[in-house]
Structure 1
Amino acid sequence: MFKSYLKISLRNLLRNRTSSTVNILGLTIGLSCGILIFLLVSYLSGFESYHAKADRTYWIVTDINRNSVLPSDATPRPLAAILRKDYPAVETAVRVESLFGRVISIPETTSRFEESRNICFTESQFFQVFDVKWLRGNASTALSAPNTVVLSDRYAKKYFGTEDVLGKVLRFDNQANLTVTGVIAEPPSNTRLSYEVMISYNTIASLSNTPGILEQWDNPSSMCFVVMRKNTGSPALQEAINTTKQEYLSAEQAKTFDFHPLPLTELGYNMRYGGTVPRPLLYTLAIIGILLVTAACINFVNMATAQALKRSKEVGVRKAVGSNRRQLIGQFLIETGVLTFIALFFSLLLVQLNLPLLNNALSVLRADLSVLNLLRPASLWWFGCLITGVVLLAGLYPALVLARFRPDTALRGRITTQQIGGVPLRKVLVVTQFFIAQLFIIAVIVMTAQVRYIRQTDLGFNKTAIFTVNMPPSGISKQQLLREKLMQTPGVEQVTIGLEIPASPRKHPVSFSYDHHTTPEPFTTNLKIGDMNYIPLFGLHMIAGRNFLSNDSLHTEAIVSAMMVKQLGVRNPEEILGKQVSIWGMDKTIVGVVADFHSEDLHNAIQPLIIMNYFQENQMAAIKLNPANMQATVQAIEKTWNELYPDNIFHSAFVDDITGQFYLTEKILLALIQAFSLVAILIGCLGLYGLVTFMAEAKTKEIGVRKVLGATVESIIFLLTKDFLKLIAIAILIATPLAWIGMNRWLDGFPYHISIQWWMLLLAAGGLILIALVSVSFQSVRAALKAPARSLNIE
């Protein structure tokens, strides 16, 4: 029986090539987007969940209470050691400190490597908390001693060309030799803790000149992860944390720091503590995937019902020869299944062809998405549900409609449009399709405008033709030599040396006191390090006082921002000149006030700010270039830098490129929404084709009669289009306020953002109507031009 059903299904698909092609195309597009989105959501939501102890592992975060609450993903260094030593409910705990821009070199060779993100200080307990596959060495002791390091197999080959590296030596930042004591497998991509160079935590003390640096409670420096014993949980951990605060922290420190345990699976999703992918975004993507697949299924329903009149006699014959309702439903569901699996084949092919683009966009996460991920146990259930849902959603309603035809009515050709489902359901389906399309179009218009706004907004400083190079720690004489040599380079106009450019994704909130106050001010300040050329090179505007007079090493002067003046309650910027600020234990005299500028990206409001010259913290040289021949100038700068720092790696970037990376998430999201908008529109157009086909079939004789009585082609086209124009209007009226609310909430995440204008909503509505008119024009004109004789003679 199944073989017979399958053979008949294939014959019907071949006989009705046009409708079959439209159905397969619609399902292919919908399934492709659905699979792509669900692969992405499954990947992004699966971070850290693969660890065996993930359900009882907690990440401790800190709220720093000043005038406002500053959230931090780190804790003071002693906390983890105290928790694992003093509290039986704690199975183990580990400290982790990520490192950025560090140089690894191989002694007695010229090999040097700059490492960021995948290098850290940590303890042997890391391998008790997290699932790591060991290849060589002893996991329990590998990081016990100072100046030891564990490498991944990939990095062992990168540094030494082999995995057999136990006992070999690395040079860390030209400061210390590290002995390799272990080799681990390369971490999977679905972890935020993808460390491949793990240096023993005790090395921090051996590198520092500060006594007791690992016992200091006054600064959150390390991430802390705690595994609780079975049958305990976060309440017991919070109690242990509170007891530790009372015992080890001073009254002032206890008031300043609040520690909170979060589930390990929140790592990377909690935006308050440095997460990059908020869970609401994952839910939104999942809903988008469901909507697009649903829209594709709606097309199938419309096309199937539009073809029902043609198949009424087939149903009548089958019932007359003994087919029952269950057999007919089975027949039509098998046809749907065949269409679905053909569409699935092309969908998987299309997804695999587009995954490299998505993986490249997510390269910062080391994404390695593949259609083979669908074979994983965690993916099989939702993938199976997706395919089953598509078959039932797309095929069950048309099958039920066709199977209930009365054989005598069907054979006499008296099936009416009301008997195949009428129009109410199809109207709802079409409204749903264009509701989805309208949501996407409004989202694209608003997001495009916001991304353009934040890219074009003046950040308050000059970014044009400014080239930055990283600078290793060095004395003031070496820094002055670099400045002099750079200024002698043709094409270099100005040079400043400091910590970073005026706007940075890294936050540096610092406590300070003002005007000889004995206690810190109730708010923190951002701190920028720069010499006397910092303000003129970046084009910062002085509104009171003066710039630094020299680049002396005493660094006794400071410059503050207008926001700092306002926060301190000083009415006139001139009044603050000559006052004292104490920062990092140093007293400085305020000599100038600069106009406010954005020291962070536009996700954050302008903050109070202090600029000071402090050569010990200098890590960057910013160079103003003559635009005439920048490529040759950059090459000359690199040559000069390499001569001065032969043991380090030249790393450079233009300021425009640095600030352009601030909104990478928004750019990726916009690209996805643009692509999904095109898909939603295309699916909607296919749905309209199905609706107009249905209407033309239903009104064939009516069209013939009207033409005989003198109706024009234009009036016939209007007859066929007026109903769906009403449906699109309804979709627009429903979608527009919802889209307005949703996009306003998204915009609220930016302190500086556009306002949604009336013309944006009008543009979206007009665009949708125009696209719909174009998509149905062919079928409408074709029906209107059909000869009346053919229409009236139709059986």
Structure 2
Amino acid sequence: MNPPRPSRWADALLRLLCTPHLLEEVQGDLYERFQADYLAFGQKEASRRYSLNVIGFIRLRFGFERAGWSPALRTQINSNHQTPYQAMFNNYFKIALRNLWRNRTTSIVSILGLSVGLASGLVIFLLVGYLFSFNRYHTKSERIYWVVTDILNDKPQPTDVTPRPVGQVLRDEYPFVESAVRLNNVFGALVGVPDGKGGMSRKFEESRNICFTEPEYFKVFDSEWAAGDQLAALSAPNTAVLSREYAKKYFGTDRAIGKTLRLDNKANLTVTGIIENPPSNTQLRYDVLISYSTLPGLWNDPGMMQAWGEPITMCWVAMKEGADVARLDQTLTEITRTHYSAKDAGTYKMRTIPLHEMFHMPGYGPAPRPILYALIVVGVFLVIAACVNFINLSTAQAVRRSKEVGVRKTVGSSRAQLIGQFMLETAILCGAAFVMALLLAQLNLPMLNGALWMLRADISVLDLLNTHALWWFGSLVMLVILLAGLYPSAVLARFNPVAALKGKPGRRDGRFSVRKSLVVVQFFITQLFIIGVIVMSAQVKHLKTADPGFDREAILMVGLPGGNAAGTDAWTNQLSTVPGVQAVALGGEPPMSQMDTDEPFTFDHRTEKEKFQVRVRIGDDHYVPVFGLKMLAGRNLESRDASRREALVNQAMLKQLGIGNPADVLNKDIRLWDRERTIVGVIRDFNLDPLSNSAQPAVVVNEPSAYAMTAIKLQTGTMNTTLPRIEKAWNTLFPENVYHSGFLEDKINDFYSTEQILLGFIRVFSAIAILIGCLGLYGLVTFMAESRSKEIGVRKVLGATENQVLWTFGRDFGRLLVTGFVPAAVLGWFLMSNWLQRYAYRIDVGWWIFALTIGITALITILTISIQSMRAARTNPVVSLRSE
């Protein structure tokens, strides 16, 4: 019987590529392994294993020869059922684990620094990815456009609305439009659940997540239906569609089809559909959608749907595939010319905004692209800083491992094999760091989501489980491994074996080495972050403490239901009897508000409207004293002005009119809202917008029908007892409405929430950059102490004191610190100056910012290097010079 033999093609390949003088020995070893596999697994499996062993030998034969692996070692490898490649990898892996365990303190510091930097970068990248994903989940997002109108006066006033019939015209008359939908947001609506007895069992005040819209809404935007007929749900008046969350909120169950809601105590709505909750990455988050055809009856205006007048409703258009948006823009111009007079057509200009860009456009979205790109740069800087720190710590171990490298090179290891060995160690460290980074990121994401509560953010590391994220995350992993491992591996692998065995692996002169350059990079990044934190902290503090031109302390703002004049009078009378209430004013908005529109007007009986518009503040005769507005000329509004013909104007309006003396405008007439009014006083400028804008022309008038808030000036020492009494009085007088209050100071601070969030991010990431920088400095001072130990010993033998030895360390680090400071100061000044330009009221980027930056960095550096430097300076020179 013939003995079993392996595949002939594998034998032929082995004879072709194996070195002749090794063929017999190698083939004999492989045959022995084949025979053993044959007895254990059979002919087929033994032939497969033999073929794999041949392929593995071919891949690594040159490496085995250079490494000097003996036939006995190869026989041992084969006896373990491993290919040569597997055996060499396992050998490298075991050596890597032993080295990492032997230097576990440094390994832990390396993993910690790298994981913190990677976690920070990962959090930033997840945040930016989340913000860039807004409004993009809709199937037609790339061809959905928002139609808005600019009102053209002395300067264009952008709005977010269009004339009401525009959506219907686009939908019915233009074939390139697939669908169009009109939408009206509702602010401060009262939604109640009738109890069947004429009252309300539950009532809710909704702010921004309720709207009137058409059935076409579901043709333009993606919504997942849970119950109801999508096509018919909003086709009839007085019908509503709820999200699953809000159905449970109102009725305690999502089985709410056919149930009734009451809107603003005016209209009953029948629930005709339930949709799944909208995702968080949308600006169009509507949990209550009311049929658009409800509006004429609700507002008692049957002809409103066909009225071409001022822009009043939002309009969204879904283009057919392949249609050019330029055609839509041209059509909007044609519609304006067709339906308006020549004069009005020159006043209104409709334009389009892509849905997927809306979230990033100034004035329409909270996340402009420059801010997102800046966050990406911050994330990249943190990852680079972490890699630099890792490189410094790795190369600091070069002296300790120089003898190991020398022995390995002496016995035949090639430079490529050494790089492979050290790259494997880097991969292990980076793998551990990435696992820890994922854990740290997930632990910190709840805080990030909490900071972004207004967006209902739900960011998670699970967001990485998609094709795009896996691609960039995998690229990041490979890039970090290469950045963090290639240079240290190359440094260790190029040691001269003779010098390495003597403990002198390379030159250590006064050159500005790569290692020092990396420390300069760390100083640059750290100081750039510190400059950003100082400037942003000072600017936010300035915004909060700068004088806005009115009083804002101890003023409680309470919402006021409209259409109830008798109840309003009783409310103010009741408040005047509450202890701790100093004064009460009624009005539309506080002096500073984001709910603003510019209004046209004519001055002094002129026939043409002024080229500029004014902001209107509605308030009674107590509005000026309660908010502490300063009169410059004339008098305040009078309570007996029953005809509501009086008006107050500010300095900015006089400046626009070209009037220098405030007294010259008194008793002049202005026509506002189609009513003649007389200017009876001039008030000092106050900020109508958050302090990112300068003072605007403003008018204060008294319009009781537009009262929407109560401003209550309180005594600061009695608030704990006063506030409950105010709420009790409200609930007594307005039992059908929801009590809602807040201090003006808090509302103003909310205007700067973006700045606060951004400042919080920068502070956290700056602290992380400083931590990583400290670890990098620790690595460099460790390296310096190791590599200059004999130099320090010689200096001490020759009489150098500890302070003189410490000066050698401080001098080197001082040079690196200043070298990193110069570009950081230049770039920091440029970036922060440009960021401050968006504020009319801003701080100056003065010299003290840079002096404080370099002082903080110097202090951090001294604290970081002091322990290791002192240890090196106090080492007995006998220890460091013993080998000499």
**TM bucket by the smaller chain?**
over 0.9
Partner of 2:501: 411
Q: Does 1:93 align with 2:202?
A: no
Q: Which amino acid aligns with 2:534?
A: I
**Structure 2 residue matching 1:18: 3-state secondary structure:** helix
**What is the match of residue 606 of structure 2?**
517
**Match in the other structure for 1:50:** 137
- In the alignment, what sits opposite 1:488? 577
Equivalent residue number for residue 588 of structure 2 = 499
Task: Answer whether contact 1:460 1:598 (CA < 8 A) is retained.
Answer: yes
In the other structure, the counterpart of 2:443 is 353
Matched position secondary structure for 1:782:
helix
Partner of 2:487: 397
Q: Work out whether residues 148 and 350 of structure 2, in 8 Å CA contact, stay in contact via their aligned partners in 1.
A: yes
- The aligned residue for residue 288 of structure 1 is 378
Residue 507 of structure 1: how far off its partner (Å):
1.4
- Tell which structure's C-alpha radius of gyration is larger: 2
Cα deviations by residue, 1:293-336 (Å, 9 ceiling, x for unpaired): 11111111111112112222222332333433333222211111
CA distance in 1, matches of 2:305, 2:601: 23
Q: Distance in 2 between matches of 1:377 and 1:30?
A: 24
Superposition map of 1:350-749 within 5 A: 350-417=440-507, 423-550=512-639, 552-749=641-838
Question: CA separation of 1:158/1:701 partners in 2, compared to 1, >3 Å: closer, same or farther?
Answer: same
Amino acid at match of 2:359: G
Deviation (angstroms), 1:128: 1.3
Aligned counterpart in structure 1 of residue 250 of structure 2, from 159, 163, 166: 159
Cα shift at 1:191: 0.6
- Matched residue SS, 1:460: coil
Kept after mapping to 2: 8 A contact 1:103/1:648: yes
- The offset of 1:408, in angstroms, is 4.3
Q: Which amino acid aligns with 2:637?
A: F
CA contact (8 A) 2:495 2:506 kept: no
The CA deviation at 1:114 is 0.8
Q: Tell me the distance in 2 between the aligned counterparts of 1:127 and 1:793.
A: 83
Match of 1:308 among 367, 389, 398: 398
Q: CA deviation at 1:772?
A: 0.9
Aligned with residue 183 of structure 1, among 267, 274, 289: 274
Post-superposition offset of 1:606: 0.5
Distance 1:62 1:682 in 2: 50
Q: Deviations over 1:268-291 (max 9, x none)?
A: 2111x3321111111111110111
CA RMSD of aligned residues (A): 1.7
**d(CA) in 1 for partners of 2:349, 2:531:** 42
Between the two proteins, the alignment pairs up a number of residues equal to: 793
Cα deviations by residue, 1:338-376 (Å, 9 ceiling, x for unpaired) = 111222232222222222221111100001112222223
Between the aligned partners of 2:723 and 2:640, the Cα distance in structure 1 is 25
Shift of 1:418: 5.8
Distance 2:823 2:848 in 1: 17
Q: How does 1:162-173 map to 2 (within 5 A)?
A: 162-173=253-264
TM-score by length of 2: 0.87
Measure, in 1, the Cα distance between the counterparts of 2:308 and 2:883: 89
The CA deviation at 1:714 is 1.2
Give 1:211 deviation, angstroms: 4.7
Q: Residue in 2 aligned with 1:252?
A: 343
Aligned to 1:12: 99
Name the CA shift for 1:794/1:175 in 2 (closer, same or farther; >3 Å): farther
- Report the 3-state secondary structure (helix = DSSP H, G, I; strand = E; otherwise coil) of the residue aligned with 1:624: strand
Unmatched 5+ stretches in structure 1: none
TM-score by length of 1: 0.97
Equivalent residues of 2:499, 2:506 under 8 A apart: no
> Aligned equivalents of 1:793 and 1:219: distance in 2?
92
SS at match of 1:705: helix
Q: Which whole-Å CA distance do the structure 2 matches of 1:474 and 1:730 have between them? A: 69
Residues 1:76 and 2:163 are matched in the alignment: yes
**Could you tell me how far 1:412 is from its partner in structure 2?**
4.4
For 1:551 and 1:360, the matched residues in 2 are separated by 49
1:326 maps to a residue whose letter is: A
Q: Are residues 520 and 218 of structure 1, via their aligned partners in 2, closer, same or farther at CA, if it must alter by over 3 Å?
A: farther
The one-letter code sitting in structure 2 at the alignment partner of 1:233 is D
CA shift for structure 1 position 471 = 0.8
Q: Counterpart amino acid of 2:148?
A: V
Question: Following the alignment from structure 2 to structure 1, what is the Cα–Cα distance between the partners of residues 411 and 314?
Answer: 75
Deviates more, 1:601-610 or 1:487-496: 487-496
Deviations along 1:484-510, one digit per CA (max 9) or x if unpaired, are: 111122222211111111111221211
Which residue pairs with 1:194 in the alignment?
285
Please say if residues 508 and 787 of structure 2, whose CA atoms lie closer than 8 Å, have aligned partners that are also in contact: no
Is the partner of 1:164 in helix, strand or coil? coil
Q: Deviations over 1:652-695 (max 9, x none)?
A: 11111111111111111111111111111111111111111222
Residue type at the aligned position of 1:403: A
> Do the aligned partners of residues 216 and 330 (structure 1) sit closer, same or farther apart at CA in structure 2, a change above 3 Å counting?
farther
Aligned pair in 2 of structure 1 residues 81, 310: CA closer, same or farther (>3 Å)?
Answer: same
2 CA distance for matches of 1:453 and 1:412? 62
- Describe the shift of the 1:423–1:553 C-alpha distance in structure 2 as closer, same or farther (beyond 3 A): same
> Which stretches in structure 2 are left out of the alignment for 5+ residues?
1-87
Indicate the SS of the match to 1:431: helix
Match for 2:153 among 54, 59, 66? 66
* Secondary structure at 2:234 match in 1: coil
Q: Aligned partners of 1:499, 1:551: CA distance in 2, in Å?
A: 19
The whole-number CA distance in structure 2 between the counterparts of 1:648 and 1:297 is 58
Question: What corresponds to 2:24 in structure 1?
Answer: none
Partners in 1 of 2:307 and 2:375 — Cα distance? 43
* Contact preservation (8 Å) 1:553, 1:615: no
For the pair 1:150 / 2:150, whether they are aligned, the reply is no
Alignment partner, residue 206 of structure 2 = 115
**Aligned residue type for 2:126:** L
- Tell me how far 1:400 sits from its aligned partner: 2.0
Distance 2:702 2:401 in 1: 84
Residue in 2 aligned with 1:757? 846
Q: Structure 2: how far apart are the matches of 1:207 and 1:553?
A: 29
- Report the alpha carbon displacement of residue 590 of structure 1 after superposing the two structures with TM: 1.3
CA contact (8 A) 2:187 2:206 kept: yes
2:859 to 770, 775, 782: 770
Q: CA deviation at 1:383?
A: 1.6
Greater relative contact order (CA < 8 Å, ≥ 6 in sequence): 1
Query: Alpha-carbon deviation of 1:576?
Result: 1.5
1:106 counterpart residue number: 193
- Structure 1 494/413 Cα, relative in aligned 2: closer, same or farther at 3 Å? closer
Q: CA deviation at 1:66?
A: 0.9
Name the CA distance, whole Å, in 2 between partners of 1:423 and 1:541: 63
Letter in 1 for 2:527: Q
Which amino acid in 2 is paired with 1:10?
A: L
| 3-state SS of 2:261 partner | strand
Tell me how far apart the structure 2 counterparts of residues 405 and 694 of structure 1 sit (CA, whole Å): 16
Distance 1:579 1:602 in 2: 30
Greater Cα offset, 711-720 or 453-462: 711-720
For 2:301 and 2:847, locate their aligned partners in 1 and report how far apart those are by CA, in whole Å: 60
Question: In structure 2, how many angstroms separate the alpha carbons of the residues matched to 1:307 and 1:628?
Answer: 64
